[in-house]
Structure 1
Amino acid sequence: MNIYAGDNPEFTGGLKLPNCTTFIDNNARLGEKKALFSPANNYGYSYRELYDKINNWSYVLTELGILKGDRVGIYLPSIPEYVILYFAIWRVGAVAVPMNIVLKPAEIRYLLEDSGAKLLVTDTLGEHNARKGSLSCTDISPVSYISIEGEEWKLLEENSEGFFRPADCRMDDLCQLQYTSGTTGRQKGAMLTHGNWIAALDTEREVLALTTDDVFLGIYPMAHVGVSWGISALKAGATWIIIERFDLDEYISLAERFSVTVLAGMPPVIHSLMKTPDGTEKKLSSAKEMISGGGPLHPGVWKEFHSRFGIPIVNAYGLSETIVVGTGTAIIPGDYESADRYRSVGKPVGYSEVKIVSPEDPATELPAEETGEIALRGPGVAKGYWNMPEETAAVFIDDGWFLTGDMGFIDPDGRVSITDRKKDMIVMSGWKIYPTEIEKAMIEHPDIDDIALFGCPDVHRGEIPVAAVVPADGRVLDTGALEDFAKSRLAGYKVPRRYIIIDELPRVNGWKLLRKKLRSQYCSNCDGKEGNV
């Protein structure tokens, strides 16, 4: 039995309002202005075409038997139709279950089974892949599959009746199950609502100061909650240029070709741009800002990027459970005159609240500048985790606060800085070591291109800090020199006890660092000994 109140017919609470897709109706007035464009496939949709397509596909879903509250999986590449399906599912009052196209059959099966999806919408290739993980051998009713390229879908669309009135909703009606990355175990489905999305779209539009004149270059996978930045651009009547798979040269070329004003980014993208040849600055000259998030942005890289390109970075902080900055914090371009723009993730935005609590006792709020767990509260916070009451109770606590699992502090001016993930904190002989702090110090070494710190078990000290280091192009790393460098910048207990030289750090989709994989791969070689490999 899930904990979603919307499944209870006796539950009547919540404010009535149009659902979160109605802005599409209002933006249809923009007519032939380009809404979505896919350069890789050389097609897109105007705002009028987008409005018509969403109405048609909403009709198709109802003809396929989809009712309010039904879960519908999306398994497609990052193409405009992915966005259209989000809106069509929401419009009929159903619940979207977005899936990354890189998922394998067993992973697809888990999401379909856990969500209780009634339908999976995909394409021809995706349907073939998904059927390998068929639910037909379980005691759960098999899910239906349909391809947007198939004859059944096309016939239903051709016979659709045009305008489809959005389903009546409440602020707390569920509209999406956003599954977490699953890097620490079984994936959890964050229950996002129409109210969450309405808050997120307005907050992100405000943070980026989006208008109809803007052009947004999107790189985030459509199944990732970062898709909200693109949908926020649509809310503002801007144009969204979609990159299906990130490629640095294509990214720069498209930014110049379409005079992009808002660049989607993340730390590895910003780092890569710093390695580009002179003249790249001119190709990005139309950009008024760049988004960064999903991981720590090292101050040295951030400062050098701004010095070279002159593009303010919107360093945003949020999670799947908060639809990024639906409830979160951000540095905005207006902060650059007064804020410590190269170290923090800014102040609360929109209707967000933030506080720092004791990791041992979340009821205890900590004073300014003391490190603890970051807690967020606001209208973007999810209702909880689908079918996981214990996990929900552990982090969605009293009075609407959400425990993020991130460690950080608030400075006297109210700016938030993140030190690390709670689970990544290393405790050596009672000393607390935060990997990000060490990484920020070590990345200053001219021979280091990338670095990740993680803890390995140690028979004498409990844990020791170990550094996985990627050399800069053409450089040879000397571990003795690295140790001397660390000792000159860090307290003795923070200095890594081992250095592992590798070609590339493991990341999810090329950006989210997998410390767990590093621990699994290299900690077995520790045996309680310090040294290098």
Structure 2
Amino acid sequence: MNIYAEDKPEFTGGLQLPNCTTFIDNNARLTEKQALYFPAKDYGYTYRELFDKVNTWSGILTELGVSKGDRVGIYLPSNPEYVILYFAVWRIGAVAVPMNIVLKPAEIRYLLEDSGAKLLVTNSSGEQNAKKGAMSCPDILPVSYISIDSEEWKISEEKSGKFFRPADCRMDDLCQLQYTSGTTGRQKGAMLTHGNWIAALDTEREVLGLTGDDVFLGIYPMAHVGVSWGISALKAGATWIIIERFDPDEYIGLAERFSATVIAGMPPVIHSLLKMPDGTEKKLSSAKEMISGGGPLHPGVWKEFHSRFGIPIVNAYGLSETIVVGTGTAIIPGDYESADRYRSVGRPVGYSEVKIVSPKDPTAELPADEIGEIALRGPGVAKGYWNMEEETKAVFISDGWFLTGDMGFIDPDGRVSITDRKKDMIVMSGWKIYPTEIEKAMIEHPDIDDIALFGCPDVHRGEIPVAAIVPAKGIVPDVKALEDFAKSRLAGYKVPRRYIIMKELPRVNGWKLLRKELRVQYCNDCDKKERNE
């Protein structure tokens, strides 16, 4: 099958010009099997159809004036079209700016303004928020938005059919701005490149042992860097079953229906499966491994899951800045024959390197078993943060090392364990939450005089955000009203899960907030309440 409709480009003299989407072309030649399937709407695409769709949208984006280096926001639910837009943007050499469909207009506006996006792509479910977010930016940039399921763009899709050869892109050419949290409350755009993605797809395929015979059951939101596991499955020629939201019964039913061999998870998912009735084990019997990441997996939960289901958990460690294990560590099934102690995130994988450094002096490497800051190095590490020179210099240090902000140690066997977080960042169910943003949104409520957000451990979700509130004088706060206020201004995962009413917050000299004191004082109570529930 010849899928090319034009002559090959001129010889480039050996200059590396890779594009991380070329595997789509190769798979379209090799197999007619299903690439993507979306059970919620009962449709999907074969590898050939995926290739055609990517080319179609490459053409539409080009006709809209998007060219190499332009940023394109993607604000869609987690469905096959999100994957197609990723590939189409990358294919023409543009830069994807993924957004979670739960983001509110003000949050969308920030990402558009900071990235300088030329276009925002959405569908009917996100059109109202997308329009508000995009139209609030005209004084800063002339951003446009389109809805891919509008009649206008359905017609454009039907007309388009030209083949688009993947744009020539060097290994360090940008293809994505992955926005991640920051302790200052200002989100940072991690600059991911074609080379980063090529390394990540290669490493994740190796970690999972993926082949064309696999069926991957995916639950990670498309705007999350965890989407790389699904794209790695496509790279291997496997079939990716896409679940938009995790529901235990649906998850188990689809795993059984499609004989899923690799199932995606995170600590809350694993904890939920342990609560399912006897017989669930048989329904998941086709799975050879489960992925976990995005937050700490409690040893008791991990051990109980492995004992009951017999499915090895690939406990992975990485960050948005490293495309998960593009440069990171993981426990792989073979490690279960040795003592993994159900608490480690494993050894370096792929081309990764890891070391523990002094938090006070990142040039000083610490010996085995000594706790310090985890540093990673490898081809999956981002170029830095978009338009943030100082923040980039602070963590992307000399010789290619990246300071993760996580504290941990390496045991004598070379396994990494995470002990704490250097920053105040909260990680709930894989999503990073930074306190300052929530505090800024909540302090606008007239009943709140002062507020501090902090994270408490949670066996189901890793951590939960808890709000300590000092009410305005003479006010008895209505917690339900506060919750509704937060929901109207913040994405759902950022809304505090508990509210604590205080007379005053612990501060040094009346200004520097002591979040640690809040955690020490209240997290045990939260943990007890969670267990009782």
Worse-matched range after superposition: 54-63 or 195-204: 54-63
Gap change, CA 1:118 and 1:471, over 3 Å in 2? closer
- Is 2:104–2:491's contact at 8 Å kept on the other side of the alignment? no
3-state SS, counterpart of residue 237 of structure 1: coil
Question: In structure 2, what is the equivalent of residue 371 of structure 1?
Answer: 371
Structure 1 residue 155 displacement after superposition? 2.8
Equivalent-residue separation in structure 2 for 1:91 and 1:125 (angstroms): 26
Gap change, CA 1:24 and 1:329, over 3 Å in 2? same
Equivalent-residue separation in structure 1 for 2:327 and 2:209 (angstroms): 17
Q: After superposition, where does 1:120-519 map in structure 2 within 5 Å?
A: 120-136=120-136, 138-181=138-181, 185-424=185-424
Equivalent-residue separation in structure 1 for 2:80 and 2:356 (angstroms): 39
Aligned-residue Cα RMSD (Å) equals: 3.0
Structure 1 residue 423 displacement after superposition? 2.2
Structure 1 residue 25 displacement after superposition? 0.3
Matched AA of 1:362? P
Equivalent-residue separation in structure 1 for 2:491 and 2:30 (angstroms): 34
Unpaired runs of at least 5, structure 1: 1-13, 426-434, 437-453, 455-465, 473-505
Gap change, CA 1:361 and 1:130, over 3 Å in 2? same
Gap change, CA 1:109 and 1:338, over 3 Å in 2? same
Gap change, CA 1:214 and 1:138, over 3 Å in 2? same
Matched AA of 1:71? R
3-state SS, counterpart of residue 86 of structure 2: helix
3-state SS, counterpart of residue 278 of structure 1: coil
- Is 1:375–1:404's contact at 8 Å kept on the other side of the alignment? yes
Equivalent-residue separation in structure 2 for 1:518 and 1:15 (angstroms): 53
Equivalent-residue separation in structure 1 for 2:423 and 2:521 (angstroms): 24
Matched AA of 1:381? V
Equivalent pairs counted in the alignment come to: 449
Gap change, CA 1:364 and 1:117, over 3 Å in 2? same
Question: In structure 1, what is the equivalent of residue 78 of structure 2?
Answer: 78
Q: After superposition, where does 1:57-68 map in structure 2 within 5 Å?
A: 57-68=57-68
- Is 2:37–2:45's contact at 8 Å kept on the other side of the alignment? yes
Structure 1 residue 31 displacement after superposition? 3.7
Structure 1 residue 327 displacement after superposition? 0.1
Matched AA of 1:336? Y
Matched AA of 2:398? D
Gap change, CA 1:347 and 1:269, over 3 Å in 2? same
Unpaired runs of at least 5, structure 2: 1-13, 428-434, 436-453, 461-485, 507-516, 526-533
Equivalent-residue separation in structure 2 for 1:305 and 1:84 (angstroms): 34
3-state SS, counterpart of residue 216 of structure 1: strand
- Is 1:328–1:348's contact at 8 Å kept on the other side of the alignment? yes
Gap change, CA 1:471 and 1:423, over 3 Å in 2? closer
Matched AA of 2:231? I
Structure 1 residue 129 displacement after superposition? 1.4
3-state SS, counterpart of residue 126 of structure 2: helix
Matched AA of 2:412? P
Normalized against structure 2, the TM-score is what? 0.79
- Is 2:347–2:416's contact at 8 Å kept on the other side of the alignment? yes
Gap change, CA 1:525 and 1:30, over 3 Å in 2? farther
Question: In structure 2, what is the equivalent of residue 52 of structure 1?
Answer: 52
Question: In structure 2, what is the equivalent of residue 441 of structure 1?
Answer: none
Gap change, CA 1:242 and 1:304, over 3 Å in 2? same
Structure 1 residue 415 displacement after superposition? 0.5
Equivalent-residue separation in structure 2 for 1:293 and 1:471 (angstroms): 14
Structure 1 residue 215 displacement after superposition? 0.4
- Is 1:30–1:48's contact at 8 Å kept on the other side of the alignment? no
Matched AA of 1:288? K
User: How much identity, in percent, do the aligned residues show?
Assistant: 81
3-state SS, counterpart of residue 16 of structure 1: coil
Gap change, CA 1:510 and 1:280, over 3 Å in 2? farther
Gap change, CA 1:517 and 1:374, over 3 Å in 2? farther
Normalized against structure 1, the TM-score is what? 0.79
- Is 2:52–2:161's contact at 8 Å kept on the other side of the alignment? no
Gap change, CA 1:170 and 1:70, over 3 Å in 2? same
Equivalent-residue separation in structure 2 for 1:303 and 1:510 (angstroms): 31
Question: In structure 2, what is the equivalent of residue 35 of structure 1?
Answer: 35
Gap change, CA 1:82 and 1:469, over 3 Å in 2? closer
Equivalent-residue separation in structure 2 for 1:79 and 1:274 (angstroms): 27
Worse-matched range after superposition: 207-216 or 270-279: 270-279
Gap change, CA 1:276 and 1:136, over 3 Å in 2? closer
Question: In structure 1, what is the equivalent of residue 117 of structure 2?
Answer: 117
Question: In structure 2, what is the equivalent of residue 502 of structure 1?
Answer: none
Equivalent-residue separation in structure 2 for 1:273 and 1:94 (angstroms): 40
- Is 2:120–2:134's contact at 8 Å kept on the other side of the alignment? no
3-state SS, counterpart of residue 84 of structure 1: helix
Matched AA of 1:110? Y
- Is 2:103–2:491's contact at 8 Å kept on the other side of the alignment? no
Worse-matched range after superposition: 373-382 or 518-527: 518-527
Equivalent-residue separation in structure 2 for 1:295 and 1:522 (angstroms): 28
